[in-house]
């Protein structure tokens, strides 16, 4: 039997197919999120099924998660990102006790108990200052692709201080820095430190290791190091961090199949 996890995030849709019996990953895909969220999710699911040589009728169960999970029409049920990321991390890094997930529009810190169960969590979904959107705004302002930000931050010798905790005001601050001759590399490094500091403030004083970093922002080089410095803990990037939520959703779909017998 084939199961699917669909993570319909704010910036991208991710699909992962899994053999329900062996838990082997059969295929996966990513596409940008857009206006027609239901069509995008269904289309990506169909595409990944076709790429693996499977037909739609072979799909036994699909679980949707993420920002737009209620718009994933092929899904049998929806499960929160908190639960799906915890389940995905339990599969790839069962020793982890803290998850930091930074996506396009929100960031989360999830504390795990033994067995990968969620003990509690904190979430920032009201301000983009600690999310991938902040990095996108910076990239747009500097005329750089977001994938280049890591290389720019590594070249920095004196990271800029970004004091504003609101993206709108921070962008104005960045404009001022550029007008004053600030180096783009230093601005990027400062923004990465600001994002990490926002997550650390959300985490509070105690962060139990090991710490695993998931979400699309984890793919931007420099962010893991900035986060480790802010948290005062070693931080490890999850394998294929953008797919962690979809992986957890697929695993939960497989467990639903097993429960049905």
- Domain positions in the chain: 2-86+243-260, 95-238
Residue 127 has pLDDT above 70, yes or no: no
Query: How many Å apart are CA 243 and CA 6, to the nearest integer?
Result: 9
Residue 130 has pLDDT above 90, yes or no: no
DSSP characters for 220-250?
A: STTHHHHHHHHHTS-EEEPSSGGGHHHHHHH
Mean pLDDT within 141-150: 88
Topology of domain 95-238 in CATH is Nucleotidyltransferase; domain 5 (3.30.420)
Query: How many Å apart are CA 19 and CA 168, to the nearest integer?
Result: 45
Q: What is the pTM of this model?
A: 0.91
Domains 2-86+243-260 and 95-238 agree in fold: yes
- The pLDDT > 70 percentage for the chain reads 95
- Give the per-residue pLDDT at 82: 95
Query: How many Å apart are CA 191 and CA 176, to the nearest integer?
Result: 14
Strand-strand pairing, 107-112 and 118-124: antiparallel
2-86+243-260 placed in CATH 2.60.120.10: no
State both tokens at 233: 């803990």
- Give the per-residue pLDDT at 259: 76
Q: What digits encode the pLDDT tens for the residues 8-59?
A: 998 899 999 999 999 999 999 999 998 888 899 999 999 999 998 876 668 9
Query: How many Å apart are CA 217 and CA 237, to the nearest integer?
Result: 10
- Give the per-residue pLDDT at 125: 59
- Give the per-residue pLDDT at 190: 92
- Give the per-residue pLDDT at 164: 72
- Give the per-residue pLDDT at 261: 58
Q: What digits encode the pLDDT tens for the residues 184-242?
A: 999 999 999 988 988 998 888 789 999 999 999 999 989 999 999 999 999 999 999 99
């Amino acid at each position: 039997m084939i199961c699917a996890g669909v993570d319909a995030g704010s910036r991208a849709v991710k699909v992962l197919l899994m053999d329900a019996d062996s838990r082997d990953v059969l295929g996966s895909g990513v596409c940008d999120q857009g206006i027609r969220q239901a069509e995008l999710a269904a289309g990506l699911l169909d595409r990944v099924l076709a790429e693996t040589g499977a037909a739609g009728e072979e799909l036994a169960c699909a679980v949707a998660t993420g920002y737009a999970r209620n718009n994933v029409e092929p899904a049998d049920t929806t499960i929160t990102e908190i639960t799906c990321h915890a389940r995905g991390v339990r599969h790839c890094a069962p020793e982890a006790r803290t998850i930091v997930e930074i996506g396009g529009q929100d960031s989360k810190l999830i504390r795990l108990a033994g067995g990968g169960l969620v003990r509690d969590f904190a979430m920032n979904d009201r301000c983009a200052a600690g999310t991938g959107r902040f990095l996108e705004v910076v990239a747009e302002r500097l005329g750089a692709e977001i994938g280049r930000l890591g290389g720019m931050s590594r070249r920095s010798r004196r990271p800029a201080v970004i004091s504003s905790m609101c993206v709108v005001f921070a962008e104005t601050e960045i404009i001022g820095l550029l007008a004053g001759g600030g180096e783009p590399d230093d601005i990027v490094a400062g923004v990465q430190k600001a994002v990490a500091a926002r997550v650390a403030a959300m985490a509070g004083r105690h962060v139990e290791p090991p710490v695993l970093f998931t979400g699309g922002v984890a793919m931007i080089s420099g962010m893991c190091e900035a986060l480790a410095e802010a948290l005062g803990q070693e931080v490890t990037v999850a394998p294929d961090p953008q797919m962690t939520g979809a992986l957890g959703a697929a695993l939960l779909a497989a467990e639903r199949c097993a429960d049905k017998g």
